[in-house]
Amino acid sequence: MRDAGTGPFNVLLLRIGEVAGTSDRRTIAASFAFRFGWSSVVAIAPYLQSRWVPDVALDNVSFAFERSTAYERARLHVVRGVVVAGDPRAADASMATVPDADALRRALRDGLVAQATPMVAALERWSGFAARGTWGQLTSAWASQFMAIVDPGDGQRGLVAELDAFFEGDDIVAAMRPRMHAVSVDGAIRLRQRRASCCRIYLLPGGELCTSCPLVGRDARSRTPANPPTAVSNGVGDDSPGTATEGSTWTDGRSSSSR
């Protein structure tokens, strides 16, 4: 993920263009950024569901993408992470501690940002797509995973404060965060978002503007049933090291080698 010009990362990018019917590198980069953002489920799901944050540094994660180029799953090489001090799991040598829930949320944010930073730089060098545009896709995908994991029946309105705290800061991530608002859909509170950057899919043959696009008005977003696609795309499974579904491509964050 550190060099978009060679190896499996480059092969995947070219495949995205082939499937989408475009050679425009900026559009390919934007499409990949959102796919990569979906892999954040490997960290966000444990945080929301079990209150721990795994180590998702590029050196510790492999990513699988289907032949269609959709994100398939991620695999941790070594299971280690962070919990809040006082958590019984802290007794395990694989777990470090942070003082409180706010610090745990910050550990999640810091981990995702550190993981993505070299990839963002590599994409910009390869495509010319501005780093701000890539960060806008990533933050949108991160928010989508929060929205997908928290069921509307649990009250998605409360996610607004959680996401505000998650994105708080004075860096590029805070600047390119999506803007959230709550709407009622069939009696349930659902969140809608407005991305900070466009994914450029509307430039593809037959493409249209996404409802979460900054080029689309709020009224249009509020009328749609889903915004954007929020299906959780596979977290850490119990698959054996080096295995993947037929046709998948494994990209190793350490060496960018196929697995």
Q: What is the pLDDT of residue 20?
A: 87
Residue 11 covered by a domain: yes
| Residue 2 resides in a domain | no
In a domain, 205, yes or no: yes
Query: Of the spans 107-116, 189-198, 201-210, which averages the highest pLDDT?
Result: 107-116
* Average pLDDT for 107-111: 98
- If one counts every other C-beta atom within 10 angstroms of the C-beta of residue 218, the result is 12
What's the pTM value of the predicted model, to 2 decimals?
0.79
- Position 113, amino acid: V
Report which of residues 189 and 46 the model is more confident about.
Answer: 46
Q: Which residues pair with 201 in a beta bridge?
A: none
pLDDT at 186: 73
pLDDT of 214 > 90? The answer is no
Average pLDDT over residues 50-64: 97
Q: Domain count of the chain?
A: 1
Minimum mean pLDDT range among 41-45, 105-109, 166-170, 218-222: 218-222
In a domain, 258, yes or no: no
Residues of the domain holding 174? 7-252
Give 75-129 as a DSSP string: EESS--EEEETT-GGGGSTTEEEESSHHHHHHHHHHHHHHHHHHHHHHHHHHH--
The answer to whether residue 259 is domain-embedded is no
